[in-house]
C-alpha cells in the first residue's frame, strides 16, 4: 500500500482507535463512563497532523505546486494549532482562546456520546470531534484546509484551481488534552 494511501487512512484509524479505547475501557460488566467535555482543553501540539493525497498526474504537471505544499506543510499544521485552549461550558457554550485575540471567541457545541460538533465565527459550518474524557481530537475537512492554502498563496503561485485539481484528499487533526 502506498504511503499516501496509508496517510489518508490515519484520521479514520484515529477515530476507530479512540472508539476502541472507549469500548475496551468499559469492560464486559462495567457501565461505560459518560463523556464529559465540560472544562478546559489545552492544545497537544504533538497530536496535530495534516494529511494530503495528491493526484500523480497533476503533480507531474505542476511540480512547483507540489513543492509549495511541501514548503508550507508546517504553516498549515501551525494553523491547526489554533486555538490554544477550548473551554466547554454548560449548556452548550464553547470558548476558543487564540494567542492573537485578546478575548475568547465564543461558539457553541452539540454532543452525542463521544462525538461532538463545535462552531464559531471562524468555522460557522462546524467541525467534528471526538473525546475519551482525557484526549480530544478535532477533525478539519478539505474545505477548511483549502481555505488555509488560499490565504498562503501569492500572485507568483499557481492558481487555486490547480490546488483543487492536485489535492485528492486533504484532512487534518487538532489534538487537545484535558487541562489541570
Asked whether the predicted pLDDT for residue 139 surpasses 90, the reply is yes
Query: For residue 33, what pLDDT is reported?
Result: 81
Asked whether the predicted pLDDT for residue 55 surpasses 50, the reply is yes
Q: How many angstroms separate the Cα of 28 from the Cα of each of 14, 16, 23, 25?
A: 23, 19, 9, 9
Whether the CB-CB separation of 167 and 65 falls below 8 Å is answered with no
pLDDT in tens, 71-112: 999 999 999 999 999 999 999 999 999 988 889 999 999 999
Query: For residue 112, what pLDDT is reported?
Result: 94
Helical pair 63-79 and 142-152, crossing angle rounded to 10 deg: 110
Q: What is the mean pLDDT of the chain?
A: 87
Work out whether strand 49-54 and strand 123-131 pair parallel, antiparallel, or are unpaired.
unpaired
pLDDT tier for residue 1 given thresholds of 50, 70 and 90: very low
Whether the CB-CB separation of 135 and 177 falls below 8 Å is answered with yes
- Give the largest Cα separation in the chain, rounded: 62
Signed CA dihedral, 152, 158, 160, 165: sign only: negative
pLDDT in tens, 13-31: 555 555 544 444 445 455 6
Q: Round to the nearest angstrom and report the end-to-end CA distance of the chain.
A: 41
Asked whether the predicted pLDDT for residue 6 surpasses 50, the reply is no
Mean pLDDT lowest for which of 7-11, 140-144, 149-153? 7-11
Picking from 34, 48, 18, 63, the residue whose alpha carbon sits closest to that of residue 139 is 48
* Cell 472544562 sits on residue: 39
Asked whether the predicted pLDDT for residue 8 surpasses 70, the reply is no
User: Is 0.85 surpassed by the pTM of this model?
Assistant: no
Query: For residue 77, what pLDDT is reported?
Result: 96
Asked whether the predicted pLDDT for residue 49 surpasses 60, the reply is yes
Query: For residue 5, what pLDDT is reported?
Result: 46
Question: What is the domain partition of the chain in residue ranges?
Answer: 3-178
pLDDT tier for residue 122 given thresholds of 50, 70 and 90: confident
Asked whether the predicted pLDDT for residue 46 surpasses 80, the reply is yes
Query: For residue 3, what pLDDT is reported?
Result: 47
Q: What are phi and psi of 177, to 5 degrees?
A: -125, 150
Q: Which three cell numbers stand for residue 17?
A: 482507535
Burial class (CB in 10 A: 0-12, 13-18, 19+), 141: middle
Q: How far is 14 from 134, CA to CA, in rounded Å?
A: 15
Amino acid at each position: 500500500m502506498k504511503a499516501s494511501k496509508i496517510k489518508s487512512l490515519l484520521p479514520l484509524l484515529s477515530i476507530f482507535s479512540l472508539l476502541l479505547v472507549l469500548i475496551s475501557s468499559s469492560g464486559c460488566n462495567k457501565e461505560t463512563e459518560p463523556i464529559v467535555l465540560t472544562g478546559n482543553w489545552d492544545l497537544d501540539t504533538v497530536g496535530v497532523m495534516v494529511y494530503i493525497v495528491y493526484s500523480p498526474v497533476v503533480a507531474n504537471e505542476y511540480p512547483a505546486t507540489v513543492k509549495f505544499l511541501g514548503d508550507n506543510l508546517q504553516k498549515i499544521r501551525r494553523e491547526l494549532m489554533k486555538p490554544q485552549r477550548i473551554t466547554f461550558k454548560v449548556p452548550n457554550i464553547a470558548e476558543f482562546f487564540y494567542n492573537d485575540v485578546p478575548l475568547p471567541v465564543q461558539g457553541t457545541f452539540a454532543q452525542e456520546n463521544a462525538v461532538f460538533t463545535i462552531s464559531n465565527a471562524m468555522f460557522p459550518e462546524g467541525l467534528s470531534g471526538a473525546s475519551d474524557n482525557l484526549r480530544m481530537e478535532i477533525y478539519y475537512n478539505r474545505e477548511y484546509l483549502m481555505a488555509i492554502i488560499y490565504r498562503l498563496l501569492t500572485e507568483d503561485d499557481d492558481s487555486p484551481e490547480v490546488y483543487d485539481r492536485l489535492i485528492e484528499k486533504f484532512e487534518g487533526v487538532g489534538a487537545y488534552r484535558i487541562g489541570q
